[in-house]
Amino acid sequence: MNRLNCVVFVFGLLLASGCSSLHTPTPQIRELRIMTHDSFAISESIIHMFEEENGIKVVFMKSGDTGTLLNRAILTSASPEADLLYGIDNTYLSRALSADLFEPYHSEILSSVPVEFILDQNKFVTPIDYGDVCINYDRLYFSKHNLAVPHDLAELIQEEYRGLLVVENPATSSPGLAFLLTTIQRFGEDGYLDFWNSLKTNGVVVVNDWSTAYYTNFSGSSGRGLQPMVVSYNTSPAAEVYFAETPIDDPPTASITAPSTCFRQIEFAGILKGTPNRSLAALFIDHMLGIPFQEDIPLQMFVFPVLPNATLPPVFQNTISLVGQPAMLSPELIAEMRDGWIQAWMEVMRK
């Protein structure tokens, strides 16, 4: 029985320690609480800088993907869990605005941000970064098979690309939705379903999430899959170089960035309505638009800063093909049509 008593004692101790930490008086340092998605990343020093300047502590709360984050924010809007929300993108923006989650804030730095990023004229949200969802291809495969890289989505239904593309399900993945929106912009609401029908006939592979598409199906990643084309970001080649096992100069992959082949996702931050720390939250938004934060974004999250005068790291400059004319649809249209588009897509693909 001694052993059992011992086990009971240890469990009790653990439980007690768990409980006691509930009652430890929190030090009287003010906290700024920021709610964000799981993909958020930033350097420690950038946050410490802000904490020291303002004598406060920044607390991050992560909450699944963007959709989950927005859901949580909407459902808790009566008693918000945080002061600031970061990570809503233009595909969810309209929904977030109509839920009346934010307080307006007009940062002075916004004047240096290109107008194309400022989607909310009432300034309830502030753009922080953007990323372009593009088709990535396995360079070796294309050169080995003497295959031309497609420069228009319409080419993807040609015989030579049969079975070579893997995409994500727009009902479960945000790059998947971005790609669906690209096809809607490219072929119009009347034409996109025909395109998908032909794409299906041409053996497009659909999976539910980015990780499976990139690491299981794509031949250019360490997963060594079967499809040499995948829907990912135009920064993925830079990540392949930066995260190579042994240093390489040339990425094994590249992205197709021809006009109307990529979708631009812009991410926003907004002050949550009802926060007691409004001025502090506003300061943090300015901090996010400051040069140190903006220049830290690329290598942490592999997206681009909205500030044009933020310098990009060398690996971005050398490996990434920039998108000249991305597909963009207005957030209002996306909010209104999103469910219907996905539903129609589902019916075509499941037939």
Among positions 94-133, residues that touch other proteins (CB under 8 A) are 95
Q: What whole-number distance in Å separates Cα of residue 254 and Cα of residue 262? A: 13
* 351 is an interface residue for other proteins by CB under 8 A: no
Dump the DSSP string for 232-255: EETTHHHHHHHT-SS--SS-SEEE
Q: What whole-number distance in Å separates Cα of residue 298 and Cα of residue 25? A: 38
- 17 CB-contact burial (10 Å; exposed 0-12 / middle 13-18 / buried 19+): exposed
Rule CB under 8 A: which of 258-287 touch other proteins? none
Binding range to other proteins, per CB under 8 A, among 109-117, 178-186, 234-242, 270-278 = 234-242
Q: Based on CB atoms, which residue is closest to other proteins, 15 or 291?
A: 15
* Of residues 280, 312, 317, the one with CA closest to residue 297: 312
H or E stretch at 62: strand 57-62
Q: Which of 76, 197, 198, 318 binds other proteins (CB under 8 A)?
A: 76
* 217 is an interface residue for other proteins by CB under 8 A: yes
CA atoms within 13 A on the CB side of 156: 30
Q: What whole-number distance in Å separates Cα of residue 129 and Cα of residue 305? A: 4
* 29 is an interface residue for other proteins by CB under 8 A: no
* 300 is an interface residue for other proteins by CB under 8 A: yes
Q: Which of 72, 123, 200, 278 binds other proteins (CB under 8 A)?
A: 72
Q: Based on CB atoms, which residue is closest to other proteins, 7 or 148?
A: 7
Cβ neighbours of 173 (radius 10 Å): 23
* 291 is an interface residue for other proteins by CB under 8 A: no
Q: Which of 87, 220, 270, 326 binds other proteins (CB under 8 A)?
A: 220
Binding range to other proteins, per CB under 8 A, among 180-188, 207-215, 266-274, 318-326 = 207-215
User: Minimum distance from CB of 325 to other proteins (Å)?
Assistant: 24
Q: Which of 126, 182, 183, 232 binds other proteins (CB under 8 A)?
A: 232
Q: Which of 90, 169, 183, 277 binds other proteins (CB under 8 A)?
A: 169
User: At 270, phi and psi to the nearest 5?
Assistant: -145, 150
Size of the site for other proteins (CB under 8 A): 90
User: At 234, phi and psi to the nearest 5?
Assistant: -75, -5
* 62 is an interface residue for other proteins by CB under 8 A: yes
User: Minimum distance from CB of 346 to other proteins (Å)?
Assistant: 8
Helix axes 44-54, 291-301, angle to 10 degrees: 150
